[in-house]
Amino acid sequence: MSKLMLRNIGTLVSGMIEHPILQSDALLVENGIITHVGREGELEGAGADRIVDCGGATVTPGLIDSHCHVILGDFTSRQNQIGFLESEVHGGVTTIISAGEVHLKGRPKDPAGTKALAILAAKAFNNFRPGGGKVIGGAVILEKGLTKEDFGEMAREGVRTVGEIGLGSIKNPEDAAPMVKWAREVGMTVMMHSGGTSIPGSSVVTADMIIETNPDIVSHLNGGPTAVPMEEVRKLVYETKLTLEMVHCGNPRVAVEAAKMIVDANALDRVIIGNDAPSGTGVVPLGILRVMNLLASLTPIKPEQAVCMATGNTARVHKLNRGVIGEGREGDLVIMDAPMGSVGEDALSAIEAGDTPGVAMVIVDGEIVVSKSRNTPPPKRKPSIL
Ligand SMILES: [Zn+2]
């Protein structure tokens, strides 16, 4: 039994975009699960064995990176870089979702090897939490020759996601359609690349191809890194109900223009936030916070809504029991505040001003995994462990 109590919370962001701010200043996490959200007085006598006084700082659900090109371990052969996943946790990210292990040198493209890599990555990341963060690994890349039975086997062995369609040999909607159907039947979430070619061997994917294929997620609506033309963005926003992903390693102008359309279309619940790194653009430990900044400082999206796009929205489309502050949810949390020197008075006003907030503490399953971020600027207010 472990009981962690957070008290003296200044602002509590729920992760639920229809209701982003909770009028509570304390919560309790028991054995990794949030069991109570309320007022501090109600939680006295709950018998917490660890109490964190948040000092009036902001608490949000742990951030979710919806688009990461992991391989295995905390290493990417794309940039020959180690430790990038742990580094993301220091940016408040507690869940990292693979969009496909495409950067593995020598990646097999036959059905047996494709399936084996997805299962291996899913299982390996189930057993490995870099820096304490959770990784949903093993996003199968669609290659010619995969069968209905293969999808059944992958799902049974823990593969939950179809990585970006368009990165493998299955490129057009006719070839993708049966595989998307098989993946859906076994409960997988399906991502599809959009826009220009990203890596050698991948292809340009247009809005019409996406609409015809009907995935769950339009990966990097703002480009990864090259965006579809604005009229195609418009089509995807106004004429579909698809989940729309905004990424760091994309086109910032399209992100801003698309966000304005999304607000106009009242489609805030369809937006999720990813890094699309490691990629040629680099390795971006603070990418999720930076996309939140971009959306909240340069578009009509409010900072608390941007937080929900990086938490509850992503958890919903990926069927994860986290990303939301509520009883029965996994106890993944971030304590953050305005960074020292910011014109912002708290985390949300700093984000709205375009400043990267200071991450003061990161908690996964009720355990503190970061007590001082090595990557963000220091927060004005710091929590204390009592
Ligand atoms: Zn892509």
What is the C-alpha to C-alpha distance for residues 177 and 170, in angstroms, rounded to an integer? 10
325 pLDDT more than 80? yes
Q: Summarize pLDDT for 299-311 with one digit per residue, the tens.
A: 999 999 999 999 9
Q: Summarize pLDDT for 129-180 with one digit per residue, the tens.
A: 999 999 999 999 999 999 999 999 999 999 999 999 999 999 999 999 999 9
- Give the β-pairing of 367-370 and 50-53: unpaired
What's the angle, vertex CA 273, arms to CA 270 and CA 274, rounded to 5?
Answer: 135
User: How far away, in angstroms, is 332 Cα from ligand 1 center?
Assistant: 27
Place of tokens 């029965």: 328
365 closest CA partner among 4, 82, 47: 4
240 pLDDT more than 90? yes
pLDDT of residue 199: 73
User: How far away, in angstroms, is 26 Cα from ligand 1 center?
Assistant: 40
250 pLDDT more than 80? yes
Instruction: Give me the mean pLDDT over the 9-29 stretch.
Output: 98
pLDDT of residue 197: 84
CB-CB contact of 51 with 77 (8 Å): no
> Residue 249: what residue type?
C
| Residue 188 backbone class (left: φ over 0; alpha: ψ -120 to 50; beta: rest) | beta
What is the C-alpha to C-alpha distance for residues 342 and 340, in angstroms, rounded to an integer? 6
Mean pLDDT of the chain: 96
Retrieve residue 167's tokens: 């990165």
pLDDT of residue 45: 79
Q: Summarize pLDDT for 194-210 with one digit per residue, the tens.
A: 999 877 777 789 999 99
User: How far away, in angstroms, is 295 Cα from ligand 1 center?
Assistant: 20
What is the C-alpha to C-alpha distance for residues 329 and 36, in angstroms, rounded to an integer? 10
- Element containing residue 316 per DSSP (H, E): helix 312-317
Instruction: Give me the mean pLDDT over the 336-350 stretch.
Output: 98
pLDDT of residue 200: 73
How many CA atoms are closer than 13 Å to the CA of 293, on its beta-carbon side? 17
User: How far away, in angstroms, is 202 Cα from ligand 1 center?
Assistant: 9
Sheet of strand 271-274, all strands in order from the earlier edge strand to the far edge:
139-140, 161-165, 189-192, 217-218, 243-247, 271-274
What is the C-alpha to C-alpha distance for residues 251 and 160, in angstroms, rounded to an integer? 28
Q: What is the DSSP letter of 174?
A: H
CB-CB contact of 96 with 364 (8 Å): no
Neighbours of 230 (CB within 10 A): 13
User: How far away, in angstroms, is 83 Cα from ligand 1 center?
Assistant: 22
pLDDT of residue 203: 75
% of the chain exceeding 90 in pLDDT: 95
Q: What is the CA radius of gyration of the chain?
A: 20
User: How far away, in angstroms, is 194 Cα from ligand 1 center?
Assistant: 6
pLDDT of residue 201: 73
What is the C-alpha to C-alpha distance for residues 315 and 321, in angstroms, rounded to an integer? 7
Retrieve residue 51's tokens: 């109490």
30 pLDDT more than 80? yes
Helix/strand/coil for 114? helix
User: How far away, in angstroms, is 276 Cα from ligand 1 center?
Assistant: 7
- Element containing residue 58 per DSSP (H, E): strand 58-61
User: How far away, in angstroms, is 101 Cα from ligand 1 center?
Assistant: 12
